[in-house]
Amino acid sequence: DAKTTQPTSMDCAEGRAANLPCNHSTISGNEYVYWYRQIHSQGPQYIIHGLKNNETNEMASLIITEDRKSSTLILPHATLRDTAVYYCIVRVAEYGNKLVFGAGTILRVKS
């Protein structure tokens, strides 16, 4: 059911920006892109979501391409506590807007 493709893992230096890509080439016009992360043994944490425009909050920025076929989550100054699995999810209307998790990207922030 997952409509997204993410790299399996990425490394980032502490203090640098972490840019996590996501492909969602079959996204429809009314489908939102959501990002969650899950730190080991904890529940998934909501980060950000968007439809067409770029979005920013206190945690991250979400950049969505004009054709909406891909997006990038940006953590501006990664810390060791940002090490987690990051999930990019498209909520599909025909599936009842379910939140369907793919494999995600393991982000390792290193000092």
Partner 1 sequence: DTEVTQTPKHLVMGMTNKKSLKCEQHMGHRAMYWYKQKAKKPPELMFVYSYEKLSINESVPSRFSPECPNSSLLNLHLHALQPEDSALYLCASSPDRNSGNTIYFGEGSWLTVV
Binding site for partner 1 (CB under 8 A): 30-32, 34, 36, 41-46, 49, 51, 85, 87, 91, 93, 96-104
User: Which CB sits closer to partner 1, 14 or 59?
Assistant: 59
- Shortest reach from residue 77's CB to partner 1, in Å: 23
- Shortest reach from residue 4's CB to partner 1, in Å: 11
User: Which CB sits closer to partner 1, 27 or 109?
Assistant: 27
Instruction: Find all residues with CB under 8 Å of 36, minimum gap 6, and list them.
Output: 44, 45, 46, 47, 86, 87, 89, 101
- Shortest reach from residue 101's CB to partner 1, in Å: 4
- Shortest reach from residue 12's CB to partner 1, in Å: 21
Nearest to 107 by CA among 3, 5, 14, 4: 14
Residue 84 burial by CB count (10 A; 0-12/13-18/19+): exposed, middle or buried? Answer: buried
DSSP summary character for residue 79: -
User: Which CB sits closer to partner 1, 14 or 21?
Assistant: 21
